[in-house]
């Protein structure tokens, strides 16, 4: 029968001391009887794994066993088990909300040197604990959010885009190329400084939209004004931000021939177009649907902007120390999200995510991880301070609604689904409460980003 390791935590003395960074130091005084019992248990455990000729497994005499295993290995095994069990009991004694694994302040090797089975042993374990966030204030926050409103002109823009998609390309005769045409080009390009051919910079018959931003600066501008059958040399320059590093910022020269020229013949803006472009029977119905969709989108983006501004203001009131364990966990979550998005695009995540890239992503993701943690903890503190919670009826109804939508999908964990829905509902409830108890002013919307410059094909 194996010797039992004492579990009476009363014989073990524990002193907890707060440390910076949401950490706690546990000074644990372990009695000699417990260290001896751990040693005896280690001997028996190791004896079961030793095979020696002439002895049945588990029946090796103790002197032979000690000689074969070696005293250092036995003591190390005993200390590992002793620290682990002492840590679990210490958490029960002090009721510490531990996250992550503990660390021996002195280091394992140092403690091992002074570990003597049968003698009292005092160790200090440091570990991260759940943070206790608090808010300096919850009401009367002031935030500034971008003004986002419905723009009626967007309806005409969407209709124009749809007309363009349904347009018929017809040949152009008797005039030169104009902006908005579709040109069929043959071309070849070289770098102006070396006359070296540009990789991927040639084609025998490429259909090109003659619109600004479709190709590198100077290319489309050079084609406009050409006649079918004409050949000319056009000077261009790759943008500094061009993704192909050996081309970025360099001047180039293209010899371009205009082989064909086409223009779009747009369908009339009438009921027949509405039926072709959508499931609506009339143009009026299509306009109404687009207006509703754009208004809902603008309202959603405006609400998101207000909530984002309010969260930033709430975080300013937050008092908390972020434990490294949570930061690293959030960094891993961000990297896993990135990997998932890449996988959805059909790319090989294992090949792309080299150890060097992962290390780089861990460094660059840290600020975002800390921001997300602070926002989450700020909302947690708000819920506690104002006793805000989700009504059970609302949670049940939302779970049922989502479950119906997921009924065709298998392997859905009902408990996990309920937890996710509860978190989402609570966050929405907290943000609505925050909006009702804060002051939000509007700021001018940020300038629309200009169209990106397309590469030379």
What is the percent of the chain where pLDDT is above 70? 92
Locate 126 and state its tokens: 């440091």
Looking at residue 10, what is its pLDDT? 42
* Rounded Cα distance, 87 and 266, in Å: 75
Q: 281 in a domain, yes or no? A: no
* Rounded Cα distance, 269 and 283, in Å: 8
Computed from CA positions of residues 81, 87, 92, 97, in that sequence, does the dihedral angle turn out positive or negative?
A: negative
- 3-class DSSP state of 237: strand
Structural domain for 67, as ranges: 9-130
**For the chain, how many structural domains are there in total?**
2
Question: For the domain that residue 211 is a member of, what is the CATH number?
Answer: 3.10.50.40
How confident is the prediction for the chain on average, in pLDDT?
A: 88
56 and 119 housed in the same domain: yes
118 and 18 housed in the same domain: yes
Locate 301 and state its tokens: 């983006």
Helix 283-316 and helix 355-386: axis angle, to 10°?
80
Select from 130, 153, 182 the last residue of a domain.
130
Looking at residue 324, what is its pLDDT? 92
Select from 248, 265, 282 the last residue of a domain.
265
* Rounded Cα distance, 85 and 78, in Å: 11
108 and 207 housed in the same domain: no
Q: 354 in a domain, yes or no? A: no
Looking at residue 431, what is its pLDDT? 94
Say if CB 425 and CB 402 are below 8 A apart.
Answer: no
77 and 178 housed in the same domain: no
pLDDT digits (tens, 9 = 90+) for 151-209: 999 999 999 999 989 999 999 988 999 998 999 999 999 999 999 999 889 999 999 99
Q: 89 in a domain, yes or no? A: yes
111 and 180 housed in the same domain: no
> Can you tell me which residue has the tokens 């002031």?
142
Looking at residue 3, what is its pLDDT? 41
Residue 456 CB neighbours (<10 A): 23
Query: Which residues in the chain come in under a pLDDT of 70?
Result: 1-10, 52-60, 407-411, 445-457
Q: 90 in a domain, yes or no? A: yes
Q: Which of 127, 154, 185, 170 is nearest to 293 (CA)?
A: 154
pLDDT digits (tens, 9 = 90+) for 294-313: 999 999 999 999 999 999 99
Locate 335 and state its tokens: 């990297």
Q: Strands 141-146 and 438-443: what pairing?
A: parallel
Question: For the domain that residue 25 is a member of, what is the CATH number?
Answer: 3.30.70.1050
Looking at residue 214, what is its pLDDT? 87
Q: 70 in a domain, yes or no? A: yes
Looking at residue 455, what is its pLDDT? 36
15 and 121 housed in the same domain: yes
Say if CB 235 and CB 251 are below 8 A apart.
Answer: yes
Looking at residue 357, what is its pLDDT? 87
pLDDT digits (tens, 9 = 90+) for 319-375: 999 999 999 999 999 999 988 888 888 888 888 888 888 889 999 999 999 999 999
* Rounded Cα distance, 375 and 372, in Å: 5
Say if CB 90 and CB 125 are below 8 A apart.
Answer: yes
- 3-class DSSP state of 386: helix
Looking at residue 66, what is its pLDDT? 76
Looking at residue 457, what is its pLDDT? 35
Looking at residue 153, what is its pLDDT? 95
198 and 121 housed in the same domain: no
Select from 215, 244, 265 the last residue of a domain.
265
62 and 114 housed in the same domain: yes
* Rounded Cα distance, 336 and 330, in Å: 10
Say if CB 229 and CB 171 are below 8 A apart.
Answer: no
Looking at residue 106, what is its pLDDT? 93
175 and 74 housed in the same domain: no
Q: 284 in a domain, yes or no? A: no
Say if CB 115 and CB 79 are below 8 A apart.
Answer: yes
Looking at residue 60, what is its pLDDT? 66
Q: 348 in a domain, yes or no? A: no
Say if CB 65 and CB 74 are below 8 A apart.
Answer: no
121 and 206 housed in the same domain: no
Q: 372 in a domain, yes or no? A: no
Q: Which of 124, 108, 100 is nearest to 16 (CA)?
A: 124
């Amino acid at each position: 029968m194996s010797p039992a390791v004492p579990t009476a935590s009363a014989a073990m003395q524990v002193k907890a001391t707060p440390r910076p960074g949401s950490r706690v130091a546990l000074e644990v005084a372990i009695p000699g009887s417990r260290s001896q019992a751990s040693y005896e248990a280690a001997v028996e455990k190791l004896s079961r794994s030793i095979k020696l000729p002439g002895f049945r497994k588990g029946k090796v005499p103790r002197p032979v066993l000690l000689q074969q295993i070696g005293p250092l290995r036995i003591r190390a095994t005993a200390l590992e088990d002793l620290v682990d069990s002492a840590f679990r009991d210490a958490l029960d004694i002090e009721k510490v909300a531990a996250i992550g694994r503990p660390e021996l302040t002195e280091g394992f090797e140092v403690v091992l040197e002074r570990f003597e089975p049968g003698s009292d042993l005092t160790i200090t374990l440091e570990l991260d604990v759940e943070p206790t966030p608090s808010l300096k204030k919850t009401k009367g926050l002031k935030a500034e959010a971008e003004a986002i409103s419905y723009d009626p002109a967007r309806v005409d823009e969407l209709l124009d885009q749809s007309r363009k998609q349904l347009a018929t390309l017809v040949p152009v005769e008797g005039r030169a190329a104009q902006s908005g045409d579709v040109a069929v080009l043959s071309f070849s390009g070289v770098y102006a400084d070396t006359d070296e051919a540009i990789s991927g910079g040639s084609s025998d018959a490429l259909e090109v939209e003659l619109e600004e931003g479709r190709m590198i600066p100077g290319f489309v501008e050079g084609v406009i004004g050409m006649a079918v059958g004409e050949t000319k040399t056009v000077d261009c320059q790759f943008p500094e931000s061009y993704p192909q590093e050996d081309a970025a910022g360099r001047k180039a020269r293209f010899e371009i021939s205009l082989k064909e020229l086409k223009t779009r013949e747009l369908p009339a803006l009438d009921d027949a177009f509405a039926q072709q472009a959508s499931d609506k029977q009339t143009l009026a119905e299509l306009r109404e649907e687009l207006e509703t969709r754009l208004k809902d989108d603008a309202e959603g983006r405006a609400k998101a902007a207000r909530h984002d501004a309010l969260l930033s203001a709430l975080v300013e009131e937050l008092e908390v120390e972020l434990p490294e364990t949570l930061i690293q966990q959030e960094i891993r979550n961000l990297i896993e999200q990135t990997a998932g998005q890449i996988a959805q695009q059909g790319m090989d995540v294992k090949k792309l995510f080299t150890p060097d890239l992962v290390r780089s992503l861990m460094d660059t993701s840290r600020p975002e991880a800390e921001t997300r943690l602070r926002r989450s903890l700020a909302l947690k503190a708000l819920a506690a301070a104002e006793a805000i919670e989700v009504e059970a009826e609302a949670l049940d109804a939302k779970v049922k609604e989502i479950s119906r939508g997921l009924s065709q999908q298998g392997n859905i964990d009902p408990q996990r689904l309920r937890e996710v829905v509860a978190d989402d509902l609570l966050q929405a409830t907290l943000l609505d409460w925050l909006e009702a108890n804060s002051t939000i002013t509007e700021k001018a919307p940020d300038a629309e980003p200009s169209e990106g410059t397309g590469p030379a094909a």
